[in-house]
Copies of this chain bind each other. A is one copy, B any other.
Amino acid sequence: MEEKRKREEGRKRRTLSRRELFPLAGKVAVGAAGLSVVTAGGLALGCGSDDGDDTSAAGGETKAATSASTASEWPWPYETLDADASMPIAYENWFEKFCCYATVSGIVEQLRKSVGEPYVSWPMDSTKWGHGGAVGWGTLCGTLTGAGIVTGLVAGEEGEDILNDVIAWYTTTELPIYQPPEPKAQITSTSRSDSPLCHVSVGKWMKKEGVKFFSDPRKDRCARLSADVSAKTIELLNQWIAGSYTPTAPSQIKKNEVQMPAQDNCTECHGDSVPASPGI
């Protein structure tokens, strides 16, 4: 019941117009405590010092901007985007700063135009580190790190369901799907990763395609995959903002027998003798 009530509150909030949510948008107020500004996108900035924190914020709820010197609007405003339009943006931007940045840019470059602040000032470049599963460690595919960063900013804690669904889709789908009109390299294979790990995902594709990591076809595969994840994330965010999104994938922690954070491909690492619990 509590979950249902939260969802209904979230839906109600999301149907408010930006003007209703951010009545001070575009106006500058100089208060006794110092200069305070609410920007066009509703981001409240205080130029004085702030000893507070926002750890008490309830997930999915937007704070009232009654105290502009301390308030920060979160989640950030979102408007329905064109999933198809994100794909060439992400594809091209992969060749600038790789997968995580590319996926973020496919979404945020559009939000900079349609929403404006705070997206204009937020440095997309700061997400580049996600490439190669975190600066080359082969962990979470950078496209999914990018999806996590954006859904966290845009949809708050409700974004966790969206990210969970994007990851589940990623692991079970033959990728890449996107066909760039002017590809920088030709590729012939698609592969199903059964894992959100860069190492596993790109490794399976490389094996199928018969190419090395430092090859043009591999780069093109990852650029196309960035386009795919940008578009999928937008597809779910659009459903969410419209109030029609229903989470699909169950929690990874609670679904498996060992009741801990895990993928769905136990035997790939553990062999056939997967313990019901990790030796406990």
Spell out A's residues near B (CB within 8 Å): 26, 28, 35, 37, 39-40, 43-51, 53-57, 59, 70, 72, 74-76, 93, 96-97, 105, 109, 112-113, 116-118, 120-130, 132-140, 144-145, 148-149, 151-153, 156-157, 159-160, 163-164, 167, 196-199, 202-203, 206-207, 210-214, 251-253, 258-263, 268-269, 277-280
Contacts and interface: CB of A to CB of B under 8 A. Distances in A.
A174 to B, nearest CB: 19
Nearest to A171: B137
A74 B123 contact: yes
Contact of A45 (B45, B76, B93, B113): B45
Nearest to A213: B260
Contacts of A156: 125-126
Contact of A132 (B35, B207, B253): B253
Given A116-B49, A261-B138, A128 B157 contact: yes
A261 B212 CA distance: 12
B43 A259 contact: no
Contact of A198 (B129, B134, B152, B261): B261
Given A45-B121, A47-B40, A153-B126, A202 B260 contact: yes
Number of copies: 2
Contact of A51 (B48, B96, B113, B124): B113
28 contacts: A26-B35, A26-B47, A45-B118, A56-B96, A59-B125, A72-B121, A72-B122, A74-B126, A122-B122, A125-B156, A126-B149, A126-B152, A133-B140, A133-B261, A134-B148, A134-B163, A135-B148, A135-B252, A136-B253, A137-B140, A137-B164, A139-B197, A139-B263, A145-B145, A206-B278, A212-B259, A212-B277, A269-B269
B136 A54 contact: no
